[in-house]
């Protein structure tokens, strides 16, 4: 048998053209995926088609969230539902108001308050109006305003007396004589009042209007904004039903 000395010495081509090249896919780490050996590219754990364990995703945010925490309880000062709470500009006191009384609190004293407004009559049958809202003046710590169910706003100066039975100014809209009825009293009830930031104006809300008041002018509102216009044609019909 004749042997080619060049090939025997290893100087010839290692792979001839008749030998097919391998087309097996290789992974980055040098592994080989051979489907003929039953291997696959499923790297899930555990393998075999079983879904992988899902871990909870923790979301992180740079925004700070404020969580309220009860620091002090102010109790045993009201016999009726509280409708308003207002902080004073002095940063030391606040008021709480119910239907008949307004109490003054110190933030550091939770078991004692001072009654500054009391509209409760000696005989409850003589009661004609209740307090609906109260708020401190934003800059003058000695002044506050409160509204009533009869559509009036009273401005109170706490420097006048300890019990502010009298008011320094009264804001109410002038009405036509004989136009007041049970129904008009209901829609005239003020639900809330708010001072402007500069303390010059007061915005009041009743059932049908928003009214802007100037505390230096108690003759009437500066502006009136109508709301619920679709209910105005129904007002006379409601008045007729109230007669029965």
Contact between residue 96 and residue 102 where contact means Cβ atoms under 8 Å apart? yes
What is the span of the domain harbouring residue 144?
84-242
**For residue 153, is it within any domain?**
yes
What is the domain count for the chain? Answer: 1
Q: For residue 19, what pLDDT is reported? A: 46
Rounded mean pLDDT of 63-91?
92
Q: Which long-range contacts (CB under 8 A, 24 or more apart) does 29-34 make?
A: none
Rounded mean pLDDT of 25-41?
50
**For residue 128, is it within any domain?**
yes
**For residue 45, is it within any domain?**
no
Contact between residue 129 and residue 148 where contact means Cβ atoms under 8 Å apart? yes
**For residue 35, is it within any domain?**
no
Q: What is the pTM of this model?
A: 0.66
**For residue 181, is it within any domain?**
yes
Residue 192 pLDDT greater than 90, yes or no: yes
Interval 60-70: pLDDT, tens: 777 777 888 99
Interval 124-165: pLDDT, tens: 999 999 999 999 999 999 999 999 999 999 999 999 888 888
Residue 120 pLDDT greater than 90, yes or no: yes
Determine whether 130 is exposed, middle or buried from the number of CB atoms within 10 Å of its CB (0-12, 13-18, 19+): middle
CA distance 77 to 101: 9
Binned at pLDDT 50, 70 and 90, residue 23 comes out as: low
Percent of the chain whose pLDDT exceeds 70: 69
Q: For residue 25, what pLDDT is reported? A: 52
**For residue 69, is it within any domain?**
no
Residue 74 pLDDT greater than 90, yes or no: yes
CA distance 40 to 48: 10
- For residue 172, the domain's CATH number is 2.130.10.10
**For residue 222, is it within any domain?**
yes
Q: For residue 162, what pLDDT is reported? A: 83
**For residue 13, is it within any domain?**
no
Rounded mean pLDDT of 92-100?
97
Percent of the chain whose pLDDT exceeds 90: 52
């Amino acid at each position: 048998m004749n042997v080619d000395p060049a090939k025997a010495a290893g100087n010839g081509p290692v792979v001839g053209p008749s030998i097919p090249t391998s087309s097996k896919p290789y992974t980055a780490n040098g592994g080989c995926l051979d489907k003929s050996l039953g291997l696959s590219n499923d790297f899930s754990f555990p393998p075999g088609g079983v879904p992988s364990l899902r871990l909870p995703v923790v979301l992180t945010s740079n925004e700070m969230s404020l969580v309220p925490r009860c620091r002090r309880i102010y109790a045993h000062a009201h016999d009726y539902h509280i409708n308003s709470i207002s902080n004073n500009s002095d940063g030391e006191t606040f008021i709480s108001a119910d239907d008949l009384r307004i109490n003054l609190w110190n933030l550091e004293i939770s078991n004692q308050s001072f009654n500054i407004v009391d509209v409760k009559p000696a005989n409850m049958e003589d009661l004609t109006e209740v307090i609906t809202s109260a708020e401190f003046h934003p800059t003058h710590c000695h002044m506050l305003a409160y509204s009533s169910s009869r559509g009036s706003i009273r401005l109170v100066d706490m420097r006048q007396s300890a019990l502010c039975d009298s008011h320094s100014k009264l804001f109410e809209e002038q009405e036509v004589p004989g136009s007041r009825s049970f129904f008009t009293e209901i829609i005239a009830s003020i639900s809330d009042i708010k001072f402007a930031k500069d303390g010059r104006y007061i915005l009041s809300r009743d059932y049908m209007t928003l009214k802007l008041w100037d505390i230096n002018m108690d003759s009437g509102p500066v502006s009136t904004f109508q709301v619920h216009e679709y209910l105005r044609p129904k007002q006379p019909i409601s008045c007729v039903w109230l007669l029965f």
